[in-house]
Amino acid sequence: MTSRLLPFLLLLSSFALAQTPDRTREFRTDAFATGGNEYEIWSGYSPWSLEWIGKTEARRLFMTGIGWRRVILASDSVAWKYTVDVVPVVLVSQPTIVGSGAIFSGTPNLTFAGCETPQSVHETVMDVSGLNLGLCQHPGRRTTYGFSLEPVGFDFNFRRRHRFQPVGGINGGFALFTHDVPVSNSNSFNFTFSLRGGLQIFTSQRRSMTLGYRYHHTSNANTGNPFNPGIDSNFMYVEYSLHR
């Protein structure tokens, strides 16, 4: 009896599975249709700096910003967006001298014998051509505050109607800091640009999150006196978006 019912049960199960909606597969969004707007808040961190265009070492970067994206043109599979970002919090952490301590000698009565030499971080300073300009000694780790505006950028979303969308882009702007960045005698005003890539995930028709990476460059474009070492950052970020 069981052997007779088995083919029927298998057929019934197959039919039921075929009728069960695959929500991931059926999900579609038109958020990136031509003329669509995206409003986002994002934040990220770079735990170290690399040496590619920029030549400074051991810089850490934290940024939090808000952004607006406007879909310029959209095909069935790709959306081209214009981007603007305002970054009210830019924090650059750079190495400095980390303190000295008193030295005492003699027992049982201690006698002050002077101060120990400050522990320090030495960094190689390179000019834009890669020439080694020598070592600089910096006073612990100091964090410098800045504000940035990135008024020109472009993003490209692929598989634009799907829940999971690869995204890549480029943008540029400027940053103004409270002290010279990244070294003294460079400049407190710097230009910025970044190349980025990530994955945008739609949690609903009008909401999404993006996990991504930026190669972020900061440089004074040779307006420093006399240095323009620049910073290249491995910047990892997350953003939350509303679509209208």
Looking at the DSSP bridge assignments, the partners of residue 202 are 208
Going from the C-alpha of 76 to that of each of 36, 99, 205, the distances in angstroms are 14, 60, 17
What is the C-alpha separation between 183 and 119, in angstroms, rounded? 19
Tell me 11's DSSP state. H
pLDDT confidence of residue 183: 82
pLDDT confidence of residue 229: 87
Please name the residue that has the structure tokens 């607006």. 68
Predicted confidence (pLDDT) per residue in 186-243, tens digit? 899 999 999 999 999 999 999 999 999 999 999 998 887 777 889 999 999 999 999 9
Residue 198, SS3? strand
What is the C-alpha separation between 27 and 224, in angstroms, rounded? 52
Q: What is the dihedral of CA 170, 176, 180, 182, to 10 degrees?
A: -20
Q: What is the CATH number of domain 29-95+142-243?
A: 2.40.160.20
Predicted confidence (pLDDT) per residue in 188-199, tens digit? 999 999 999 999
What is the C-alpha separation between 77 and 158, in angstroms, rounded? 6
Q: What is the dihedral of CA 137, 142, 146, 151, to 10 degrees?
A: 60
In the predicted model, is pLDDT for residue 21 greater than 70?
no
pLDDT confidence of residue 16: 46
**Average confidence (pLDDT) over 168-174:** 97
Contacts of 129 (CB under 8 A, 6+ apart): none
195 touches 112 (CB < 8 A): no
pLDDT confidence of residue 124: 62
Q: What does the mean pLDDT of the chain come to?
A: 83
Contacts of 5 (CB under 8 A, 6+ apart): none
pLDDT confidence of residue 238: 98
